[in-house]
Chain A
Amino acid sequence: MSLALDIVARVRNGGGRAGHAWRAPGLVAPLAFVLLLVAAAAVPHWFTALAPDAVDTDAILLPPGLAHWFGTDQLGRDVFTRVVHGTSQSLGIGLGATLIGCAGGVLLGTAAGLAPPMLQRLLVRLIDILLAFPEILLALLIIAVLGRGPANTLLAVGLSSIAGYARLVRSQVLRVWQSGYVEHAVSLGESTPAIIARHVVPNAIRPLVVLATIGVGNAVLSASALSFIGLGVVPPAAEWGALLADGRNFLDTAPWISFLPATVVAASVIAITILGRRLQLLLSQGGQP
Chain B
Amino acid sequence: MNVQLIGRHDLVRATPAARSTILDVEDLHVSFPGRLGRREVVRGISFTIGAGEILAIVGESGSGKSVTARALVGLAGPGAKQRARALSLSGHDGETHSLNGLTERQWSKIRGREIGFVLQDALVSLDPLRTIGREVGEPLLTHRLVPRTEIGAEVETLLARVGIPDPAVRAAQYPHELSGGLRQRALIASALAARPRLLIADEPTTALDVTVQQQILDVFQALARAGHGILLITHDLAVAAQLADRIAVMQNGELVETGPAREVLRKPRHAYTQRLLSAVPSAATRGRWLSTQGARPGKPQPPEGGEPILALRDIAVRFTRPDRGVTNAADGVSLTVFSGETLGIVGESGSGKTTIGKVALASRKPDQGEALFRGLAWSSLSERQRRPLRRHIQTIVQDPLNSFDPRYTVRRIVEQPLRLHTALGKGDRQARVEELLRLVNLPTEVLDRRPATLSGGQRQRVSIAQALASEPDLLICDEPVSALDVTTQAQVLDLLIALQHRLGLAMLFISHDLGVIRHMSDRIAVMKDGVIVETGPADAVFDAPQHAYTRRLLAAVPRL
Contact = CB atoms under 8 A, between A and B. Distances in A.
A160 to B, nearest CB: 31
Contacts of B387: 189, 191
Contacts of B399: 180
Nearest to A17: B35
A203 B417 contact: no
A199 B403 CA distance: 11
B441 interface: no
Contacts of B361: 187
Contact of B390 (A181, A188, A202): A188
Interface string A184-206: 11111111100000110011000
Interface in A123-166: none
Contact of A188 (B397, B407, B417, B450): B417
A158 B315 CA distance: 52
Interface of B: 361-363, 383, 387-391, 393-395, 397, 399, 402-407, 416-417, 420-421, 450, 466, 470
Contact of A189 (B403, B417, B450): B417
Given A189-B387, A189-B388, A189-B420, A181 B363 contact: no
Contacts of A185: 405, 416
A186 B407 contact: no
Contacts of A203: 405-407
A185 B420 CA distance: 10
A199 B407 CA distance: 9
Interface string A164-192: 00000000000000011101111111111
Interface in A218-235: none
A192 B382 CA distance: 13
A136 B405 CA distance: 38
A179 B470 CA distance: 22
A179 B416 contact: no
B363 A180 contact: no
Contacts of B466: 188
A189 B391 contact: yes
Contacts of B407: 202-203
Contacts of B450: 288
A87 to B, nearest CB: 35
A190 B362 CA distance: 14
A189 B394 CA distance: 10
Contacts of A190: 416, 420
A288 B409 CA distance: 13
Nearest to A199: B405
Interface residues of A, number: 18
5 contacts: A180-B403, A181-B404, A186-B383, A187-B390, A188-B470
A-B residue pairs, 9 tightest by C-beta: A180-B402, A189-B390, A184-B403, A180-B403, A181-B405, A189-B387, A199-B405, A181-B403, A187-B361
B41 to A, nearest CB: 20
B395 A181 contact: no
Nearest to A192: B383
A202 B407 CA distance: 9
Contacts, number: 54
Nearest to B364: A183
Nearest to A190: B420
A183 B478 CA distance: 14
A199 B413 CA distance: 12
Given A183-B363, A184-B395, A189 B404 contact: no
Contacts of B390: 187-189
A205 to B, nearest CB: 11
Nearest to B412: A198
B533 to A, nearest CB: 28
A173 to B, nearest CB: 14
B420 A188 contact: yes
Contact of A187 (B394, B405, B406): B394
Contacts of B397: 180, 184
A183 B391 contact: no
Given A184-B403, A186-B363, 16 more contacts: A179-B402, A180-B397, A181-B404, A181-B405, A181-B406, A185-B405, A188-B394, A188-B466, A188-B470, A189-B387, A189-B390, A189-B421, A191-B387, A202-B407, A203-B405, A203-B407
B477 to A, nearest CB: 13
B390 to A, nearest CB: 3
B397 to A, nearest CB: 7
Nearest to B388: A189
Nearest to A180: B402
B365 to A, nearest CB: 12
A261 to B, nearest CB: 42
Contacts of B383: 186, 192
Nearest to B404: A181
A203 B404 CA distance: 12
A179 B405 CA distance: 9
B436 to A, nearest CB: 14
A191 B388 CA distance: 10
Contacts of A180: 397, 399, 402-403
Given A180-B397, A183-B363, A188 B405 contact: no
Contacts of B393: 187
Nearest to B450: A288
A188 B416 contact: yes
A205 B404 CA distance: 17
Contacts of B404: 181, 184
B402 A187 contact: no
A196 to B, nearest CB: 13
Task: Pick from B361, B394, B406, B417 the residue with the most CB of A within 10 Å.
Answer: B406
Contacts of A186: 363, 383
A181 B416 contact: no
A199 B416 CA distance: 12
Nearest to A184: B403
Nearest to B476: A187
B410 to A, nearest CB: 14
